Structure 1
Amino acid sequence: MILGCRGRSAGCGSRSPAIVVAAGADEEGRFVMNAFQAFVGKRIYACGAIVLALVLLMHPSGAWAGDQPRAMIGDQPFPSIQQAFDAAQDGDTVTILPGIWREGATVRAHNLTIEGTGAHLQDTAVGGKAALVIQGDNTLVRGLEVSGVSVPSRNGAAIRQEGRNLTLQNVHFHSSEQGVLAGNNPGSTIIVEDSRFERLGRDGQAHGIYVNRIDALVIRGSHFLRSQDQGHEIKSRATRTTIEYSVVAALDGNDSRLIDLPDGGVNVIRNNVLQQGPNSVNGQLIGVGLELRGGSTWPDNNTLIERNIIINDRRHGTNELVRWRDVTDPEIIRNIIIGLPPAQVAPGNTVLSLGDSGRISLANTLALLITEAPGAYNYFIDVGDDGELATLSRSVNPVPLPGALPLFVSALAALAFVLRRRRGTA
């Protein structure tokens, strides 16, 4: 089949008949072919060159690289993401359009909503800091994917938060030096919901999320996975840190601690699945107050760790659930703890050792199933008062995936069976 130009085109001439000449064409077909050559002649080569040039100008996402808008405010398109944020007024909604964009931006307006569903900021950083440097207050970011952020200072982030109050919903930050980095900012709260952070960290100084001295960090229904290069999955110096209904898992990453709370504060870690991996560099799953010297940064200090499934898959060196210093002893209660010596675990928790029937395969099942399909983990365990699995709980915005949830429930059912057996009730 031979394909030529059709209709009017500056590169193909004003008249171009459709050409379809099959093998074994009859006399009429040959006539059409001759007509095509007469009308077009060598212009077919020029037309082909134009088509090739247009293909090369296509953006990797499939959008035209020329005048295709990258962002919108209402009905107003903008050719660059930064131009949209420069034009944004307080209270606007800026939509970053679907596509892979190698462009970041500084955000200065307040009370902004940033809609990013289908948009992926890749291999970009603004001011040697982050893909998005947010200087305005009260920002909501939804649906955005960011990857490949690297800067000379080795702490390139998906978001550098310089303003007050940030909420992230359904974002996916991965394969960068850092997910979110927030400086000291009294009065600020950062909330992360139904989001996924993975393969983040650099030189033990950059982490999945790292917030300095702010009022509160709240993480719900989210997944922090596979931190790399001795980064923590979560590091918070906030006055109050709450982590609930989430999965924090090292898996195959060479992370440090799952959760590091170096300044103490009021901390709640509950109804999560926490897994320290075989390649984790640090034997402590959680650290509290470990960078203090002679007193806490905050006047109130207490840490509650309750109703979690905690899995230690690290088999070398010394391993412990929590290490703390210069703060009140953490309250650790009603957890199911797998792979740590019973002598290390406070009373009021259920401990399963590697010798329990099915323990190794069950730990792997839990660690992997609940981290491989985003959305399925918005259904989480509820560890009962006596350390048994009571019911399944749901996060704020559950988005179950067919197929993944039944496997997750099966894994929990298997764990419940092991617990009943240990009590002689099965």
Structure 2
Amino acid sequence: MAKRRSSRYRYKKTKLILLGTSFLVLMGVGGVFMEYRASGYSVAEIVNYLERRVEGHPRLEKWTTPVFARIRAWDGESEFQAQAAQPFLIPPPPPRWGVVALKEGEERSLIEPYLPGGWLIPPSPVHRTLHVGPTEPIKSISVAASMARDGDVVQIDAGDYHEDVVASWGQNDLLIQGVGGSARLFADGRSAEGKALWVVRGGRIRIENIDFMNTRVSDRNGAGIRFEKGDLWIRNCLFFANENGLLTSDEESSSLVIENSEFAYNGAGDGFSHDLYVGKLNSLVVLASYFHHANVGHLFKSRALRNDILYNRLTDEMGGRASYELDLPNGGTALVLGNIIQQGVDTENSTVISYGEEGMSGPDNVLYLASNTLVNDKEGAGAFLRVPKAGARVISVNNLLVGYGEYHVPVGLVSSNDLKADWQVFYRPLRQDYRLEGPVDERLHYETPSAMLAPGIDLVPHAEPVVPRQVSVLKRAPAYPGALQILAP
């Protein structure tokens, strides 16, 4: 009898221990849920995280699975999953653009202060010009790439190209440009070195008026351009329906400049490929460009040591599935000035701008966020800005925040005249027209930032983005917070 009582006692004791342990674990899960919810994560993100935490614990999985399913149903995630299960629809590409002439005067002065020094050195004397086109002696882009020498100009007649379009460029001081309009290149299953339509690894190469379309490769990293080494300047180019729009290496001595360009419908759908993915370059400058409709990946991801992001549109819009709109995972020095940044309703992530999520790698980690219009259309939760770890400074001034969410910055945030408003302040927000509609609420006024906030950094906007990939120089001092100063008619 004593032995039987002992066994029963041990059984009851073990059951109590299991129940107590399960209760403590569930309490911990609940605590994590509340903590993450307070940090602006969506219910779906939290449930996914908690499911990973209990994975491998059969008893907990048995108890939590119906609970998580009920939470998802309550949050409407079943509707989201059904929506996400639909194919990512890629429309026909937009019409080919005409040639954008080199800017002079006021507009050129917008980008010159941010250019790496080498770009301001006059290029070496032009050796010759190579003409490519159906009626030219050179009919193949790949042949022109093999013939080009340092200092050459390669001109490609406007039109659609499906044959012999892949190329590797390793020359120095090279200008490659579409003439008479954009030259549109279709990969059609081909790639250079199994990487991209074009692989670029030369010194000071400028590419203008070229469209890069539909690149697919075996590792699902097919890019319009794979930039591996040197200095590259992209002007008036379109990256459309590739697995990556533009993908770079981690060459720390290289620089990349992107101007008046468009990145749309890129991404393999795996979350690891993006509209733009910049590795650990020395510097990145992006001006007057348009990023939209990424497939699960980010609109804009950069690990560069220095990022100057000026007067752009990063708007995922209806049908886009971008995760982050702007991701700077390794910190560094970043100036984000005068941009429209919008998160759509179908995003898989509640964060609009992420900074330093994978650890700070720069010697000085500071984010300057000035005169941006930040819109979060994802209902229920969110973070306009998330800095998950200490070790960085954030200087945020004159930003206009509309929609769901807050700033989630643990320490080091200095905020001045960052104002929240409702969608009704905009002219046509459902069409991503974020011009303010007059008369403007008197609360929405611009305050000149103190020079002490950012010594040597100009936080005052001198232009505003114009649809789709242009910029308009301001004729007067800014009057309102956010990216747009011209009121709707």
- Structure showing greater radius of gyration is 1
2:11 matched residue in structure 1:
none
Q: Which has the higher mean CA deviation after the structures are superposed, 333-342 or 83-92?
A: 333-342
* Superposed CA offset, 1:283-327 (max 9, x none): 1111111112xxx21111100111011111111444443333243
1:110 matched residue in structure 2:
172
CA contact (8 A) 2:426 2:434 kept: no
1:364 and 1:411 mapped to 2: Cα distance? 19
Q: Quick check: 1:335 aligned with 2:389?
A: no
| Partner-residue secondary structure (3-state), 2:254 | strand
1:305 matched residue in structure 2:
369
Q: 1:134 to 1:254 in 2, by over 3 A?
A: same
1:84 and 1:410 mapped to 2: Cα distance? 43
Q: Quick check: 1:250 aligned with 2:310?
A: no
Q: Which has the higher helix share?
A: 2
CA contact (8 A) 2:267 2:297 kept: yes
Selected match of 1:393 from 463, 468, 486: 463
Indicate the percent of aligned positions where both proteins have the same amino acid. Answer: 28
2:156 matched residue in structure 1:
96
CA contact (8 A) 1:236 1:261 kept: yes
| Partner-residue secondary structure (3-state), 1:98 | strand
Q: 1:361 to 1:312 in 2, by over 3 A?
A: farther
Q: Quick check: 1:226 aligned with 2:296?
A: no
TM-score of the superposed pair, with normalisation by structure 2: 0.59
1:181 matched residue in structure 2:
247
Q: Quick check: 1:236 aligned with 2:298?
A: no
Unpaired runs of 5+ in structure 2?
A: 1-95, 97-129, 410-414, 436-443, 450-459, 473-482
Q: What is the deviation of 1:191?
A: 0.4
Q: Quick check: 1:275 aligned with 2:335?
A: no
CA contact (8 A) 1:362 1:414 kept: no
2:313 and 2:227 mapped to 1: Cα distance? 23
Selected match of 1:168 from 230, 234, 240: 234
2:487 matched residue in structure 1:
413
TM-score of the superposed pair, with normalisation by structure 1: 0.67
Q: 1:221 to 1:213 in 2, by over 3 A?
A: same
Q: What is the deviation of 1:137?
A: 1.3
Q: 1:316 to 1:341 in 2, by over 3 A?
A: closer
Q: Quick check: 1:200 aligned with 2:266?
A: yes
Selected match of 2:386 from 307, 322, 328: 322
Q: 1:72 to 1:231 in 2, by over 3 A?
A: same
Q: 1:395 to 1:349 in 2, by over 3 A?
A: closer
| Residue correspondence of structure 1 range 45-194 to structure 2 within 5 A | 72=131, 77-102=137-162, 103-116=165-178, 117-123=181-187, 124-194=190-260
Q: What is the deviation of 1:109?
A: 1.4
Q: What is the deviation of 1:209?
A: 1.1
Q: What is the deviation of 1:188?
A: 1.1
Q: What is the deviation of 1:343?
A: 8.1
CA contact (8 A) 2:463 2:471 kept: no
Q: 1:327 to 1:288 in 2, by over 3 A?
A: farther
RCO higher in structure (CA 8 A, sep ≥6): 2
2:47 matched residue in structure 1:
none
Q: What is the deviation of 1:394?
A: 5.2
1:267 and 1:255 mapped to 2: Cα distance? 21
Q: What is the deviation of 1:328?
A: 1.0
2:113 matched residue in structure 1:
none
Q: What is the deviation of 1:364?
A: 2.3
1:76 and 1:163 mapped to 2: Cα distance? 31
Unpaired runs of 5+ in structure 1?
A: 1-60, 62-70, 371-381, 401-408, 416-426
What amino acid is the match of 1:77?
P
Aligned residue pair count? 317
2:274 and 2:403 mapped to 1: Cα distance? 25
What amino acid is the match of 2:283?
A
1:384 matched residue in structure 2:
446
1:159 and 1:238 mapped to 2: Cα distance? 17
Q: Quick check: 1:210 aligned with 2:270?
A: no
Q: RMSD of the TM alignment (CA)? A: 3.2
